[in-house]
Homo-oligomer: A and B are copies of this chain.
Amino acid sequence: MHRQPVLEFWYEFASTYSYLTAMRIEAAAEAAGVELVWRPFLLGPIFKAQGWETTPFSLYPAKGRYMWRDMEREAARLGLPFYRPEAFPQNGLIAARVALLGSDRGWTPAFTRAVYTAQFAQGRDIASPQTVTDILTALGLDAESVLTEAGAETNKMRLRRMNEEVQSRGLFGAPTFFAEDGEMFWGNDRLEQALDWAVAQARRGQAPA
């Protein structure tokens, strides 16, 4: 029997293309027989290291205009609702801290999809603690205690360390995928190639145990 392939999925909550991936990756990974590791992170510090104070979609208007149009088309092609939020990029810090906390508890995928849906299908403000509270409550969780724990120093530091660590592995945008051998794929357009790579790598048995 083969070992099950594993793929890391790194996403930023404000990232439009990460939304497309988050909504379809679970079905795609299941079909490919790949186990997913969901990894929320923050693009802000990554962009700052490249000299950008905000997203390139704001810094370069022609690229930004195209992105919104491309998102409309790609969301339609993938059968996903898409609403352009009034504010962009939104601050995904609280959501990222909560998603990280949930990663040891099994509810991160559902929480992540709910946050993206609130932002890009319902036009809600994900920086607002109320939005996050509503989502946690709908998932049957104790929102107040989760938010307190997510905002505690341990969890905040863990998110920061993971951000620094993944930056040192070459990540520069979102979504980004890593196979177990460190092979990196960037963008919703590379999800299929990333899954294929993870499967082929596990078959070769070259991954560290």
Interface residues, chain A, with chain B CB atoms under 8 Å away: 50, 60, 62-63, 65-66, 69-70, 73, 77, 170-173, 184-187, 189-190, 193
Q: Which residues of B contact A77 (CB under 8 A)?
A: 193
Using known A-B contacts A50-B60, A60-B50, A172-B60, determine if residue A66 contacts B189 with beta carbons closer than 8 Å. no
CB distance from A185 to the nearest CB of B (A): 8
Q: List 22 A-B contacts (CB under 8 A).
A: A50-B60, A50-B62, A50-B63, A60-B172, A62-B170, A62-B171, A62-B172, A63-B172, A63-B173, A65-B170, A66-B170, A66-B172, A66-B184, A66-B186, A69-B184, A70-B185, A70-B186, A70-B190, A73-B193, A77-B193, A187-B189, A189-B189
CB distance from A77 to the nearest CB of B (A): 7
Residue of B nearest to A69 (CB): B184
CB distance from A67 to the nearest CB of B (A): 9
Residue of B nearest to A169 (CB): B62
Q: Which residues of B contact A73 (CB under 8 A)?
A: 193
